[in-house]
Structure 1
Amino acid sequence: MPRPRVHDLDDALDAAERLAVEGGPSAVTLRAVAAATEMSNGAIYHAFGSRGGLVGRAWLRAAHRFLDLQQESVEDALGRGPVDAVVAAADTPAVFAERFPQSSRLLLTVRRDELLGSEIPDDVATELSRLDSVLVELFVRLALALWGRRDGRAVEVIEACVVGLPTGLLLHAQRKPDDAMRRRLEAAVRAVLTLDPPPPGKRHDKTTKGSR
């Protein structure tokens, strides 16, 4: 069987995204993707190996798009200062929704564990774990740029700015982020960053008097 062309694979990933967003995780089947793309079941199976491989690759493509865009935005903003870089990272969901609306809806409205289930190919699972690490590394990098710290409490403040505030101000609005929403987000991030994070937590001493 000839290997599917690259644009056919993108068509299959586009269809998987659309089916997941419009019909939920259970709507994504090899048969449904084949019907949406006019690819054969065999061609899709040959390309992705299983439903888990298909939805895993769809999720990875969307996640790569988001993280690449976020990294690019942070790099561009760092020259203006670390606070601007955090603002740029926080604004990425809004930019992402404009540039890749279907991928944005996939990441923001469909739970990853429900979409992927338990039958995730090893290579997809490895790549998902690596992408999770990339996001944490970004938090650490921004904390170091702002405060010269990489401890958990400093990183938690960055996470609140980059994940928590956008989720509350942009994503829960259930509509496309507009300029006013994005300005409120920027103001909130800048307000949070006017305060230094709490001092690093001390290691809890579990030693009791009776054990000394």
Structure 2
Amino acid sequence: MARPRVHDLDRLLDAAERLVVDLGPRGVTVRSLAATAGVSNGTIYHAFGSLGALLARVWLRAASDFLDLQTELADQAGDTAAAVVAAAGAPAAFADRRPEAARLLITVKKEHLLGPQIPEDLAGDLLALDKRLVKLLVRLADRLWGRRDAQAVEVLTTCVVDLPTALFRRAFTEGEPISEDSRGRLTAAVRAVLLLPPPRKD
């Protein structure tokens, strides 16, 4: 059997992404995915090896595309505080472009999607994604306060991860667009957090 073409693989990932968002990770089976994508069960196994590997690829694709956009928005901002605001607002910007992928990242816990037996190459890719986010946070902390320590990174994690999740989760859960009010409140909250420098470890 010939390996599926790249656009066919993307179509499979798109279908899996929709099913995960609509049904939850446990609702996705090889049979339901094959029916949604219009392919055979064998095509899925041939392309990805297992359903678990396919779902890992779904997460990796969404998270990688999101981090690409987040880094781009932060790099395009004028001053460093604006870069943090831009990075925090990335989930809303990503939702404008890829609504289902954005919902996946906000509403589905990674550990619920990824099984315990992830292929070694995919596990390495997942670890690399985590390192990319930390690298961005460290770079922003260094630009803001000249610090690269855990306390500084924790403050930026509040801005870039915790606040957007709290303010946008309801809209993502209900499949609604992110309101301008929520975006504005996020900007105000992030700028308020940045007014206080990170604590020093005793």
> Structure 1: which 5+ residue stretches go unaligned?
203-212
Alignment-mate amino acid for residue 33 of structure 1: L
Q: CA deviation at 1:182?
A: 0.6
C-alpha distance in structure 1 between counterparts of 2:105 and 2:152, whole Å: 26
C-alpha distance in structure 2 between counterparts of 1:27 and 1:171, whole Å: 21
Query: Please, what TM-score do these two structures have when normalized by structure 2?
Result: 0.95
**Same amino acid, percent of matched pairs:** 57
Alignment-mate amino acid for residue 20 of structure 1: V
Q: CA deviation at 1:172?
A: 3.7
Q: CA deviation at 1:108?
A: 1.1
Alignment-mate amino acid for residue 167 of structure 1: T
Q: How does 1:1-212 map to 2 (within 5 A)?
A: 1-77=1-77, 80-173=78-171, 174=173, 175-199=176-200, 201-202=201-202
Counterpart in the other structure of 1:208? none
| Greater Rg by CA | 1
RMSD: 1.1
> Structure 2: which 5+ residue stretches go unaligned?
none
Alignment-mate amino acid for residue 36 of structure 1: T
C-alpha distance in structure 1 between counterparts of 2:145 and 2:59, whole Å: 33
SS of 1:145's equivalent in the other structure is helix
C-alpha distance in structure 1 between counterparts of 2:37 and 2:165, whole Å: 33
Q: CA deviation at 1:191?
A: 1.1
Q: CA deviation at 1:29?
A: 1.7
Provide runs of 4+ in structure 1 moved above 4 Å. Answer: none
C-alpha distance in structure 1 between counterparts of 2:189 and 2:107, whole Å: 23
C-alpha distance in structure 2 between counterparts of 1:26 and 1:184, whole Å: 34
Query: Please, what TM-score do these two structures have when normalized by structure 1?
Result: 0.90
Q: 1:66-101 CA distances to partner (integer Å, 9 max, x unpaired)?
A: 100001101101xx1100000000000111111100
Checking the alignment, whether the CA contact within 8 Å between 2:44 and 2:51 is kept in structure 1 is: no
